[in-house]
Amino acid sequence: MKTKTKSEETRERILSAAIELFRRRGFESATMREIAGGAGVATGAAYYYFDSKDAIVLAFYEHAACELEPLLEDALAGAKSLEARIRALLEVKLKYFEPNRALLGALSGHTDPAHPLSPFSAQTREIRERDMKFFERALEDSRVRISPDLQGVLPRILWMYQMGLILFWIYDRSASQKRTHALVDQSVGIVVGLIKLSGFPLLRPVRRRVVTLLETVSGEA
């Protein structure tokens, strides 16, 4: 096991203190000075590691992505059908982010892809792409045959579907977010049903149009 350097330890302590403070006090009103105080370092030292609260949030996203990876691996290993695999990926994420649901809520206003903290930003691209890989794998190892023209775009579609669910979950005021869990439950079946139907020759023109459209939207045409 790799030993952490002193510098890595300090960085992590600041990150934990910040998340703890965001959780207790909300993201907007927390200051770098308070974060430094919580971590037991000087404000200047906190700024040495993170030049802003936004930088801390990005580090939180990255940290979460790393911690999630083995959990998502387990989820895929434990589920066979495509429906079970997608459902498992989604449930792992909702469970993982549960303690920080309010923080994600404070960040969900960043719908502008030009904002660094947006899930669609250049800064979060790497995290986003690593996350899409899990949907790619959920599709690959399942027994559902995906028509070749859709293979490139389906992971992205599933990822966007996930983001929609997370947004719903953030604002779900039902007890233990049971409406979201019902929504996941019902929608995964529909999504997988549509994926299965999408292979029909009849749907070839629609498939082609969806692929073109996604190229337009993602600006990667």
Question: Which positions touch a second copy (CB under 8 A)?
Answer: 105, 108-114, 167-168, 170-171, 173, 179, 182-183, 186-187, 189-190, 193-194, 197, 202-203, 205-206, 209-210, 212-213, 216-217, 219
The DSSP secondary structure of 12-62, one letter per residue, reads HHHHHHHHHHHHHH-TTT--HHHHHHHHTS-HHHHHHH-SSHHHHHHHHHH
The least CB distance from residue 70 to a second copy, in Å, is: 31
The least CB distance from residue 152 to a second copy, in Å, is: 17
The least CB distance from residue 174 to a second copy, in Å, is: 8
End-to-end alpha carbon distance in the chain: 43
Asked if 39 and 16 count as a contact pair (C-beta separation under 8 A), the reply is: yes
- Residue 142, SS3 per DSSP: coil
Q: Please return the burial class of 102, using the count of CB atoms within 10 Å of its CB with bins 0-12, 13-18 and 19+.
A: middle
The least CB distance from residue 116 to a second copy, in Å, is: 14
Q: Give the residue with the Cβ less far from a second copy, 64 or 183.
A: 183
The least CB distance from residue 182 to a second copy, in Å, is: 5
Q: Give the residue with the Cβ less far from a second copy, 87 or 110.
A: 110
Q: Give the residue with the Cβ less far from a second copy, 84 or 203.
A: 203
Asked if 107 and 60 count as a contact pair (C-beta separation under 8 A), the reply is: no
The least CB distance from residue 136 to a second copy, in Å, is: 23
Q: Give the residue with the Cβ less far from a second copy, 42 or 206.
A: 206
Asked if 184 and 87 count as a contact pair (C-beta separation under 8 A), the reply is: yes
Asked if 130 and 188 count as a contact pair (C-beta separation under 8 A), the reply is: no
The backbone torsions φ and ψ at residue 122, rounded to the nearest 5 degrees and listed phi first, read: -65, -35
Q: Give the residue with the Cβ less far from a second copy, 25 or 204.
A: 204
Q: Give the residue with the Cβ less far from a second copy, 3 or 176.
A: 176
